[in-house]
Amino acid sequence: MLLKEALARKIKDSRGEYTIEVKVNNSIASSPSGKSTGKYETPCFHKSLQWNIDFINKAKFNLEINNFNDLNKVESFIKKSAKLKDAKQFGANALFALESAILKALAKEQKKELWQIVSLGKKINKIPVPAGNAIGGGLHSSNKDKPSFQEFLLIPQGKSAKENFKIMQEAYKKLKNQVKAKGKNDEGAWQTSLTEEEILEVLSKFKNIRIGIDIAASSFYKPEAYCYKNKCLNSQMQVMYLNSLIKKYNIFYSEDPVQEEDFSGFSEVVKSSNHLVVGDDLTATHIDRLKKAIRKKSINAMIVKPNQNGSLLELKEIFNICRKNNIRTILSHRSGETMDNALADYAVGFGADFIKCGISTKYREVKLNRLVSIEKRIKS
Ligand code: 2PG
Ligand code: MG
């Protein structure tokens, strides 16, 4: 495929904030945006959203793109023409939307699916398991008496993506009354006044569902202490408190249990439990942070967010490093989402173990539906 030009424009995300959409030939891709953003995330845009839009609209690419690895040419072009040391300085949202639109156009031209382009034709042998946010607190929720933990995730144990989607949806519906829901939050998860323990108590009654939590601990870490509604805990107490919850409620997955600078605190959680200890703000989808977390044995699972990095080539490398080091991978949406469903293609194509993309609202359902249709295609 000869990539001549791309068209960029601004669109609104699910939170009503502006983000970037890029069109290559007739293929469209866009980037989401986060609210509980990690300190180490790549900035979304270079100088501003408008600067990136103007740059893309004026660029004369003239690049021959025939497979996933040819994104190298795109990144070199950007570095040279925007005079950057690293393509990521272009801004993660802008780079991701551009690369994603290029791959979608390539897929269309080669009459393939996006996930086939991403996997470079390798045989796909697994469909990622969804981890769906059902109940929310922290920065994503607006009710005053919300829990401090940001997300309570349902990790279904069905035999297929289709069954898993159904299990999550049914549980999500039941939860509305069980947690006395006060509307939905940014990710379509129920808002509630119940405490962390009361929510875990409810979740532990479901069969076929394992419990995940995104503590997003940096968001309530006031210098030196984790401050909840009714208590402040130092780092050691935070680890002890979490370990007691993990044990009592048989928690399968905990994301960002301590704040994003605390590699040793993460290691303590890994040492003292045998569940998935997931880095998100800690690792911020960056290779160097991942390598440090591996050296320090801080995690055994990692969140990968395309727009926390921007480069799909680096994302591929991250998946390779994780595989070699036995780190489970979770490809994740953001709290501000678009209708782009490519997250499912990337999760399948890169071979992610899990996909975190919510349960409810059209922005989340579109990704789960895409996962189900990819599964159907692979099985047929
Ligand atoms: C997270 C994400 C997605 P945000 O912390 O894992 O759920 O939130 O997009 O606000 O960073
Ligand atoms: Mg997180």
3-state secondary structure 190-212: EECCCCHHHHHHHHCCCCCEEEE
Question: Is 34's C-beta closer than 6 angstroms to any atom of ligand 1?
Answer: yes
Question: Has 305 been annotated as catalytic?
Answer: yes
- Per DSSP, helices labelled H in the chain are 49-58, 71-81, 92-109, 114-118, 161-178, 196-203, 235-248, 263-272, 287-295, 306-309, 312-324, 342-350, 362-379
Question: Is 335's C-beta closer than 6 angstroms to any atom of ligand 1?
Answer: yes
Question: Is 13's C-beta closer than 6 angstroms to any atom of ligand 1?
Answer: no
Question: Is 35's C-beta closer than 6 angstroms to any atom of ligand 1?
Answer: yes
**Token reading at 79:** 């570095």
Q: Which region holds residue 256: left if phi is over 0, alpha if psi is between -120 and 50, else beta?
A: left
pLDDT in tens, 54-78: 999 999 999 999 999 999 999 999 9
Distance 126 CA to ligand 2 centre (A): 24
Ligand 1, residue 255: give the atom nearest the CA: 6
Residue 306's nearest CA partner among 95, 104, 75 is 95
Q: Is the pTM of this model over 0.95?
A: yes
Residue 314's nearest CA partner among 104, 72, 35, 133 is 72
> What would you measure as the largest C-alpha separation in the chain, in angstroms?
60
Report the pLDDT value the prediction gives residue 273, as an integer from 0 to 100.
85
Among the options 21, 41, 113, 187, which is catalytic? 187
DSSP state letter for 155: E
By the 8 A CB rule, do 6 and 94 touch?
no
- Per DSSP, helices labelled H in 249-341 are 263-272, 287-295, 306-309, 312-324
Distance 356 CA to ligand 1 centre (A): 10
Ligand 1, residue 281: give the atom nearest the CA: 5
Question: Has 170 been annotated as catalytic?
Answer: no
> Which ligand ends up closest to the CA of 44?
1
Question: What residues in the chain have per-residue pLDDT under 70?
Answer: none
Report the pLDDT value the prediction gives residue 24, as an integer from 0 to 100.
98
Report the pLDDT value the prediction gives residue 118, as an integer from 0 to 100.
98
Distance 216 CA to ligand 2 centre (A): 6
Report the pLDDT value the prediction gives residue 223, as an integer from 0 to 100.
85
Report the pLDDT value the prediction gives residue 188, as an integer from 0 to 100.
97
Distance 212 CA to ligand 1 centre (A): 14
